[in-house]
Amino acid sequence: MPVPQVNLVVPLYNEEQVFDQLIQRLNTVMDNSDLSIEVILIDDGSHDATPQLMEQLSYRDARYHTVFLSRNFGHQLALTAGLSVVTATDAVMVIDGDLQDPPELLPEFYNYYKEGYDVVYAVREKRKEGLLKKVAYKFFYRFMKRVSYIDIPLDSGDFSLISRRVVDQLNRMPEESRFIRGMRSWIGYKQIGV
Ligand code: UDP
Ligand code: MG
């Protein structure tokens, strides 16, 4: 297959319940796009049927590639593993596998990329979580802003579209304890929150 323009990188940890719905939505996004897109699914040591579902899918549909980690390493390292194997020429969309990040934003994000932005990140206006987690997230981002000399955007997660050159820089960074959204800010270039 020719090299895709865009890769979607999706870490998955025990996501069997949303897997089919996730794939349906990713398929719809890919089917409605003129871009050539391939998806990299990373199993982060799931204990449920996620790895089996991934494997079956990758046999059926050549647009899906799979990475299986030897144990649970956590979201940031699962993402790191995914980013290390991308082939896209243009950009990579990083997206959670639990459907908290809508993949349908790809065309909008890609338009910003075409306008010259290297990083297009999503900013959450609302978050469907329990109160404790909501408060914890609010506090976390505001605390980080105070203590960090890097300007990490408030209420934005890893959900983003990043250009090939930013992905290459992320892959060159040797940090073992990785905070991708912070490293993404640190790299620079033109960045925009949506
Ligand atoms: N995830 C992962 N490894 C983990 C925990 C989570 O790969 O150890 C995946 C998870 O399946 C999801 C994404 O990373 O696709 C974000 O995880 P979660 O929803 O727990 O994070 P939150 O929404 O609380 O930021
Ligand atoms: Mg989540």
Query: The tokens of 70 are what?
Result: 């030897």
Residue 15 CB coordination number (10 Å) = 24
Q: How far is CA 89 from CA 10, 126, 163, in A?
A: 18, 33, 9
Lowest mean pLDDT among 72-81, 109-118, 136-145, 164-173: 136-145
pLDDT value of position 9:
98
Q: Which residues surround ligand 2, an ion (CB under 5 A)?
A: 98, 100
How far apart (Å, rounded) are the C-alpha atoms in residues 140 and 35? 36
Instruction: Supply the residue whose CA is at minimum distance from atom 14 of ligand 1.
Output: 75
pLDDT value of position 1:
61
22, 55, 61: which is closest to 38 by C-alpha? 61
The ligand 1 atom at the shortest distance from the C-alpha of residue 73 is 8
pLDDT value of position 138:
81
How do residues 7-47 score in pLDDT, each as one tens digit?
999 999 999 999 999 999 999 999 999 999 999 999 999 99
For residue 4, the 8-state DSSP code is P
Q: pLDDT category, 88, cuts 50, 70, 90?
A: very high
pTM of the full structure: 0.91
How far apart (Å, rounded) are the C-alpha atoms in residues 157 and 71? 24
How do residues 37-66 score in pLDDT, each as one tens digit?
999 999 999 999 999 999 999 999 999 999
How far apart (Å, rounded) are the C-alpha atoms in residues 159 and 23? 17
d(CA 108, ligand 1 centre) in Å: 24
Collapsing DSSP states into helix, strand and coil, what is residue 89? coil
How far apart (Å, rounded) are the C-alpha atoms in residues 81 and 79? 5
pLDDT value of position 157:
84
